[in-house]
């Protein structure tokens, strides 16, 4: 979490330094979102406000509302922008090429690269349901969930096995990466899950595999998954003991 000096520094950037960026470049939604990501990267989420962001862009806060309805919509856009970086990661495959293990390893490392590139923004990825609240963080972007499920189905997984793999995969990523980014200055509690009723510009469902498996994806197996993960952990510890 940023300390008081960080917040003061953020405000100082509003009134000092170079000419306001908006005197050189026109304001648009993409530029606002990119500025928000940069602000969070530097100062952390708690310091972000529409006023400070407007100041960083050299405009009044009210000018931002032409492009984003409010702070909550802005944070959703930040999540989308951060996850979009996976789309240009050349190590991530859109479909299995050398087996499902290689496919999932590449995807897991891609999510981790995003988390480490934006550790102070990553808790938003873990907490905000951008498109489908019944999907699981941190891999709840519909295009990526569609690729995940289609990839495993193409490798011979059944519908239920594909969804089970998705649940296990996301649980592993969430637990490990939240712990990792917390050591890099991320504020991981309480997570930002406010819903103020803003219009989030909901998109129609255009991902047929996700839609077809939605019933399975929305089921709650938390207790069973905890027991299975705990059993797997104990098995790994037993192997450590055997090898010691």
**Model confidence at 55, in pLDDT bands (50, 70, 90)?**
very high
Window from 41-55, 60-74, 102-116, 228-242 with minimum mean pLDDT: 228-242
- pLDDT confidence of 16, banded at 50, 70, 90? very low
Element counts in the chain: helices (H) and strands (E)? 12, 0
Q: What pLDDT, on a 0 to 100 scale, did the predictor assign at position 146? A: 95
Query: Does the pLDDT at position 174 exceed 60?
Result: yes
The phi, psi pair for 183, rounded to 5°, reads -80, -10
CATH of domain 4-68: 1.10.10
Q: How far apart are CA 87 and CA 14, in angstroms?
A: 32
User: 195: phi > 0 → left, psi -120 to 50 → alpha, else beta; which?
Assistant: beta
Cβ contact 57:31 at 8 Å: yes
Q: What is the pTM of this model?
A: 0.75
Q: Where exactly are the structural domains of the chain?
A: 4-68, 90-243
Q: What share of the chain in percent tops pLDDT 90?
A: 45
Give 104's pLDDT tier (boundaries 50, 70, 90). very high
Stated as kind and residue range, the H or E segment containing 160 is helix 159-182
Mean pLDDT score of the chain, rounded to an integer? 82
Residue 63 pLDDT class (50, 70, 90 cuts):
very high
Task: Return d(Cα 72, Cα 51) in angstroms, integer.
Answer: 14
Q: Are 172 and 162 in contact (CB under 8 A)?
A: no
**What tokens appear for 27 in the block?**
């304001």
Give the residue, 80 or 2, on which the prediction is more confident. Answer: 80
Q: Distance between CA atoms of 130 and 79, rounded to whole angstroms? A: 7
- Greater model confidence, 236 or 120: 120
Least confident among 27-31, 59-63, 184-188, 197-201: 197-201
Segment 238-242 mean pLDDT: 72
pLDDT, residue 193, reads 43
Instruction: Identify the CATH assignment for 90-243 out of 3.40.50, 1.10.357, 1.20.950, 2.60.40.
Output: 1.10.357
């Amino acid at each position: 979490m940023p300390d008081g000096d960080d917040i003061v520094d953020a405000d100082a950037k509003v009134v000092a330094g170079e000419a306001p960026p908006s005197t050189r470049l026109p304001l648009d939604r993409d530029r606002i979102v990119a500025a928000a990501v940069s602000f969070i990267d530097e100062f952390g989420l708690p310091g972000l406000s529409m006023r400070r962001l407007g100041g960083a862009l050299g405009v009044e806060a009210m000018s931002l509302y032409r492009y984003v309805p409010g702070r909550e919509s802005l944070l959703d856009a930040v999540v989308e922008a951060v996850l979009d970086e996976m789309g240009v990661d050349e190590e991530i495959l859109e479909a299995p090429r050398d087996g499902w293990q290689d496919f999932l390893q590449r995807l897991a490392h891609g999510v981790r690269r995003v988390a480490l590139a934006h550790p102070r923004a990553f808790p938003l990825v873990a907490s905000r349901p951008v498109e489908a609240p019944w999907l699981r963080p941190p891999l709840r972007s519909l295009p990526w969930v569609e690729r995940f499920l289609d990839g495993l189905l193409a490798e011979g997984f059944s519908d239920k096995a594909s969804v089970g793999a998705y649940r296990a995969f996301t649980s592993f990523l969430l637990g490990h990466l939240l712990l990792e980014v917390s050591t890099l200055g991320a504020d991981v509690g309480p997570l930002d899950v406010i819903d103020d009723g803003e219009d989030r510009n909901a998109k129609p469902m255009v991902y047929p595999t996700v839609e077809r498996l939605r019933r399975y994806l929305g089921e709650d197996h938390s207790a069973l998954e905890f027991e299975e993960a705990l059993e797997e952990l104990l098995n790994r510890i037993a192997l450590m003991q055997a090898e010691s």
